[in-house]
C-alpha cells in the first residue's frame, strides 16, 4: 500500500509512475488526496471540540470546588452538546477512513525508475543470457512425453484423484522432486537464510498484507468454511511472520527460506503453453524472503538475482534474466527480474523464478517497522525470490538432458537423487 503522505506531497510524480504500469484509474489518486484532506479536517474539528469539552469539564470542576454551583451548571448546559458532536464526528471520520482505505488499496506499487515502459511480456528487457542452448537429436521428446515414457509423473492419475493440474509424481520422478527441494534448501541455508516451515493456509489479513488481496482473489483457492486461503507462494506466510512487528535495525537483513507446496487456480489458462508441467494448480517451490534496511534493498535485490542465477548454473541449465516492463509487473512490485530457462524440446523460454523488491508497499500493509538511527519509526523494505519453482525446472532438466541412454541427472543433484540416470 502506498503511503498517504507520499501521495499527498508527490501527486504528479505518483501519476507519472503509475502510467509506467499502465494504470488507468488515475482519478483514484485525486480521490485519495481529497479523502485524506476530509479525514484530516474532520479529525482536527473533532480534536478541537474534544479540547473544548475537556476545558469545560475542568472549568466545571473548578467552579464546583469554589461553591459556584449556578455558574458550573451554566457551563455544563453550554457544553452539553460537545459529547454528541464528538460522537457524530467520530462516526463520520470512521466512514471517511474506510472509504479512503478502500480507495488507496486499489493503487498498485510505484515502479522503480529503471522499469522499462511496455504493456506485455514482449516488452520486457533482456538483461543477460547465460549458457549454451542444447541441440537435441531428431525425434527428441517433449517433457510430457518423457514423463510417460519413463513413468515418473502421471498426469492422468492426478486428474482422477483431483483434476487437471494436480500431477502424481512416481518413482524417480518423486525422488527428483525431493532432491531438488533439498538442494535448494541446503543452498539457501548456506547463503545465510534461516529455514522456516510455515502453514500453507493463511487468513485474510495475511493475504491482504502481502498484496494478494484484493488483487488476486481469482488466482487463489478459498476455503469457505473457515475463510482461509491456500497459499500461492510461501512469500505470504513467511513475510507475515513479521506482521505488526517492530524490528531492530541491527537485525537487518532478516533472511528466511521455506519449502511449501503452492496452489494457483490459473483461471483462463489454456493452450499448448500449459501442457505437462508448464502450468499447474499445485506445485512445489522453495522461496527466499528478505526484510532489509531501505538504503540496502536494491543492493540486496541484485544479490538475490545473482544467487538464483547461481542455482541455475549449478543445474547446468541455459537461462536468461529479464527486467520486467511496467505492464508485465505484479501489483505489488517496484522492480522485478524474471529468470527463464530454455526448454530444448519445446524450443522456448520458461519462467522459473521472479525476484522482486516491494520497497515499503508490503511493509506498510504489514506494519513492519524499525527505529532508525535518529529514533524515527520507518517501514522496512521487503523482497522475495523463487529459488526455485520446481515444475519448469524439472521439465527443462528432462528435455535438455535426454539421450539415447536415458535422461542424465545434473551432477550437483546426484548426491541427492542417489542415481545418475532416469532410464
What band does 272 get if pLDDT is binned at 50, 70 and 90? low
What band does 266 get if pLDDT is binned at 50, 70 and 90? confident
Is 80 exceeded by the pLDDT of residue 320?
Answer: yes
* Three-class secondary structure assignment of the chain: CCCHHHHHHCHHHHHHHHHHCCCCCCHHHHHHHHHHHHHHHHHHHHHHHHHHHHHHHHHHHHHHHCCCHHHHHHHHHHCCCHHHHHHHHHHHHHHHHHHHHHHHCCCCCCCCCCCCCCCCHHHCEEEEEECCCCCCCCCCCCHHHHHHHCCCEEHHHHHHHCCCCCCEECHHHHHHHHHHHHHHHHHHHHCCCEECCCCCEECHHHHHHCCCCCCCHHHCCEECCCCEEECCCCHHHHHHCCCCCEECHHHCCEEEEEEEEEECCCCCCCCHHHCCCCCCCEEEEEEEEEEECHHHHHHHHHHHHHHHHHHHHHCCCCEEEEECCHHHCCCCCCEEEEEEEEECCCCEEEEEEEEEECCCHHHHHHCCEEECCCCCEEECEEEEEEEEEHHHHHHHHHHHCECCCCEECCHHHHHHHCCCEEC
Question: What tens digit of pLDDT does each residue of 52-102 get?
Answer: 887 888 888 888 888 888 887 777 777 778 878 888 999 999 999 999 999
Question: What tens digit of pLDDT does each residue of 356-402 get?
Answer: 999 999 999 999 999 999 999 999 999 999 999 999 999 999 999 99
In this structure, is the dihedral angle defined by the CA atoms of residues 61, 62, 67 and 70, taken in order, positive or negative? negative
CB–CB of 168/206 below 8 Å? no
Query: Rounded to two decimals, what is the model's pTM?
Result: 0.91
Find, among 256, 386, 413, 387, the residue nearest to 311 by Cα.
387
What band does 273 get if pLDDT is binned at 50, 70 and 90? low
Average pLDDT in the chain: 94
- pLDDT, residue 69, reads 83
Find, among 363, 227, 397, 371, the residue nearest to 289 by Cα.
363
- pLDDT, residue 61, reads 85
Amino acid at each position: 500500500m502506498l503511503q498517504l503522505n507520499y501521495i499527498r506531497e508527490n501527486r504528479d510524480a505518483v501519476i507519472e509512475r503509475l502510467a509506467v504500469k499502465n494504470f488507468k484509474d488515475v482519478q483514484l489518486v485525486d480521490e485519495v488526496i481529497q479523502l485524506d484532506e476530509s479525514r484530516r479536517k474532520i479529525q482536527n474539528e473533532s480534536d478541537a471540540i474534544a479540547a473544548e469539552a475537556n476545558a469545560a469539564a475542568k472549568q466545571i470542576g473548578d467552579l464546583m470546588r469554589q461553591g459556584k454551583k449556578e455558574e458550573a451548571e451554566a457551563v455544563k448546559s453550554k457544553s452539553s452538546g460537545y459529547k454528541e458532536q464528538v460522537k457524530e464526528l467520530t462516526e463520520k471520520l470512521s466512514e471517511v477512513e474506510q472509504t479512503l482505505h478502500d480507495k488507496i488499496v486499489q493503487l498498485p506499487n510505484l515502479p522503480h525508475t529503471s522499469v522499462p515502459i511496455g504493456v506485455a511480456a514482449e516488452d520486457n528487457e533482456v538483461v543477460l543470457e547465460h549458457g549454451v542452448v542444447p541441440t537435441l537429436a531428431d525425434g527428441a521428446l517433449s517433457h510430457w512425453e518423457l514423463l510417460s515414457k519413463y513413468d515418473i509423473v502421471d498426469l492422468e492419475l492426478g486428474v482422477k484423484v483431483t483434476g487437471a493440474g494436480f500431477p502424481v509424481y512416481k518413482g524417480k520422478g518423486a525422488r527428483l522432486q525431493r532432491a531438488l527441494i533439498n538442494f535448494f534448501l541446503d543452498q539457501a541455508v548456506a547463503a545465510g537464510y534461516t529455514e522456516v516451515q510455515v502453514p500453507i493456509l493463511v487468513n485474510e489479513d495475511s493475504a491482504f498484507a502481502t498484496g494478494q488481496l484484493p488483487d488476486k482473489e481469482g488466482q487463489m483457492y478459498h476455503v469457505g468454511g473457515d475463510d482461509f486461503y491456500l497459499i500461492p507462494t510461501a512469500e505470504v506466510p513467511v513475510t507475515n511472520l513479521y506482521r505488526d512487528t517492530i524490528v531492530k535495525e541491527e537485525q537487518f537483513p532478516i533472511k528466511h527460506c521455506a519449502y511449501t507446496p503452492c496452489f494457483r487456480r490459473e483461471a483462463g489458462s489454456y493452450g499448448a503453453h500449459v501442457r505437462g508441467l508448464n502450468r499447474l494448480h499445485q506445485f512445489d517451490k522453495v522461496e527466499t524472503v528478505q526484510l532489509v534496511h531501505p538504503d540496502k534493498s536494491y543492493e540486496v535485490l541484485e544479490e538475490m538475482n545473482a544467487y538464483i542465477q547461481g542455482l541455475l548454473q549449478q543445474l547446468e541449465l541455459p537461462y536468461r534474466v529479464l527486467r520486467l516492463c511496467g505492464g508485465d509487473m505484479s501489483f505489488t512490485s517496484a522492480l522485478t527480474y524474471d529468470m527463464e530457462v530454455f526448454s530444448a524440446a519445446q524450443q522456448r523460454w520458461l519462467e522459473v523464478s521472479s525476484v522482486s523488491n516491494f520497497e515499503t508497499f508490503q511493509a506498510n500493509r504489514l506494519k513492519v517497522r524499525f527505529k532508525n538511527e535518529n529514533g524515527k519509526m520507518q517501514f522496512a523494505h521487503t523482497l522475495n525470490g523463487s529459488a526455485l519453482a520446481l515444475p519448469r525446472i524439472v521439465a527443462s532438466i528432462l528435455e535438455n538432458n535426454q539421450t539415447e541412454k536415458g535422461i542424465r541427472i545434473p551432477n550437483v543433484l546426484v548426491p541427492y537423487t542417489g542415481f545418475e540416470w532416469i532410464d
